[in-house]
């Protein structure tokens, strides 16, 4: 006899299916959450295996392509060990702060007052930097202040160990840090620097500019009369290197950085551009016509980005402050891929003038 299928039986089966699905989903979520982080898989001070395939390939490239000798490589890599702390910091999930919490970290009385002092102290040097590179001095000094508190906080991690740690034990970005390790060894060779002595951040950035190695090789310059690019101790090299970076991304001296657009975007094209993030672009004529008739022209008619900056809900009934981000603003986002960072630099630079 065929079993009779009733509504109550179907309901029971469906319920069981739903419960089974929820249990499976919970199990998968638990497994994902339990996935070990890079720092969980190593011991601090663990020796790096220089005989593994990826290091043999690295050494082969350094010898054949860049003329490193076996003796040089032995001196550089002997005794390299893992820094667990570097991996812990890389694994940490940094929560993006809304702008009303982010900006006060940098727009401090100390940063503003010290920046004004530095602008006065290095006035003649900044005259030469502006003339040579065409980048506004306040922006240069603001980046200097935000990156390393005007050179006083350059990081205390051994850069060679950091880059080896991230190449060897941070799989998610191992390829990137292998490339940075090669650039680091090349810049040390080019500028006669002992790679074992350089200190910087847990991500391999160093100096008063906090350049990563590839950025140093591409943008650092000597501006103090010798040939060595010294972003650790030479203020002329530091300020000129910051300026040169922005120059390469088409900074225009004394041109607008941003313009206020109010608390509401009035056209779907502006909304679409803002939704695309820092790479979104829109013709400045459109922004002028639909949002702000007093909008200054963009250099060479280049397009703008649209940026929304979060407002403190305890102080404003509005959620966002919208700005038109000019090509100069966009150049700052090439230094650091954050609109919040670019705005903090800009507002710190503005504060120097008050």
CATH of the domain at 64: 1.10.8.350
* In the chain, % of residues over pLDDT 90: 86
Q: Which of 177, 206, 235 is the C-terminal boundary of a domain? A: 206
Whether 319 and 170 share a structural domain: no
72 occurs within a structural domain: yes
196 occurs within a structural domain: yes
pLDDT band at 96 (very low <50, low <70, confident <90, very high): confident
Whether 51 and 167 share a structural domain: yes
Q: Which tens digits make up the pLDDT trace of 236-277?
A: 999 999 999 999 999 999 999 999 999 999 999 999 999 999
Report how far residue 24's alpha carbon sits from residue 21's, in angstroms, rounded to the nearest whole number.
Answer: 5
Whether 191 and 54 share a structural domain: yes
Whether 166 and 53 share a structural domain: yes
Whether 72 and 161 share a structural domain: yes
310 occurs within a structural domain: yes
94 occurs within a structural domain: no
Cα–Cα distances in angstroms (integers) from residue 56 to residues 27, 48, 50, 51, 213, in the given order: 40, 12, 7, 6, 22
Whether 70 and 185 share a structural domain: yes
Domain that holds residue 167: 40-79+155-206
287 occurs within a structural domain: yes
pLDDT band at 324 (very low <50, low <70, confident <90, very high): very high
Report the domain count for the chain: 2
Whether 58 and 198 share a structural domain: yes
Q: Which tens digits make up the pLDDT trace of 275-311?
A: 999 899 999 999 999 999 999 999 999 999 999 999 9
Question: Tell me, what's the pLDDT at 24?
Answer: 59
26 occurs within a structural domain: no
70 occurs within a structural domain: yes
Q: Which tens digits make up the pLDDT trace of 120-168?
A: 999 999 999 999 999 999 999 999 999 999 999 999 999 999 999 999 9
Question: Tell me, what's the pLDDT at 92?
Answer: 83
* In the chain, % of residues over pLDDT 70: 90
Report how far residue 210's alpha carbon sits from residue 203's, in angstroms, rounded to the nearest whole number.
Answer: 10
317 occurs within a structural domain: yes
34 pLDDT higher than 80? no
Whether 175 and 283 share a structural domain: no
Question: Tell me, what's the pLDDT at 43?
Answer: 92
pLDDT band at 9 (very low <50, low <70, confident <90, very high): very low
């Amino acid at each position: 006899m065929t079993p009779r299928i009733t509504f109550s039986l179907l309901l029971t089966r469906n319920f069981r299916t739903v419960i089974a699905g929820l249990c499976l989903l919970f199990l998968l979520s638990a497994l994902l959450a339990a996935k070990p982080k890079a720092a969980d898989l190593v011991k601090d001070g663990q020796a790096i295996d220089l005989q593994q395939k990826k290091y043999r390939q690295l050494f082969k490239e350094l010898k054949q392509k860049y003329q490193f000798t076996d003796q040089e490589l032995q001196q550089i890599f002997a005794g390299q060990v893992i820094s667990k702390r570097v991996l812990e910091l890389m694994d940490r999930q940094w929560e993006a702060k809304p702008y009303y919490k982010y900006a006060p970290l940098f727009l401090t009385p100390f940063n503003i007052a010290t920046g004004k002092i530095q602008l006065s102290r290095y006035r003649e040097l900044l005259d030469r930097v502006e003339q040579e590179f065409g980048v506004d001095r306040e922006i240069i000094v603001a980046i200097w202040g935000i990156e390393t508190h005007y050179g006083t906080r350059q990081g205390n991690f051994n850069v060679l160990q950091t880059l080896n740690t991230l190449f060897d034990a941070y799989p998610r970005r191992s390829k990137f840090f292998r490339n940075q390790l090669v650039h680091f060894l090349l810049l040390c060779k080019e500028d006669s620097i002992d790679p074992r002595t350089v200190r910087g951040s847990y991500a391999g950035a160093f100096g008063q500019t906090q350049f990563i190695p590839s950025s140093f090789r591409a943008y650092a310059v000597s501006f103090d009369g010798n040939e060595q690019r010294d972003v650790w101790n030479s203020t002329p090299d530091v300020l000129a290197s910051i300026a040169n970076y922005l120059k390469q991304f088409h900074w225009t001296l004394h041109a607008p950085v941003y313009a206020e657009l109010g608390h509401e975007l009035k056209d779907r094209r502006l909304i679409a551009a803002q939704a695309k993030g820092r790479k979104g672009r829109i013709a400045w004529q459109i922004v002028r016509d639909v949002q702000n008739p007093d909008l200054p022209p963009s250099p060479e008619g280049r397009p703008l980005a649209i940026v929304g900056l979060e407002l403190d809900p305890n102080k404003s009934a509005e959620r966002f402050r919208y700005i038109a981000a000019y090509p100069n603003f966009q150049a700052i986002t090439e230094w650091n891929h954050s609109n919040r960072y670019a705005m903090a630099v800009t507002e710190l630079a503005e504060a120097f003038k008050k």
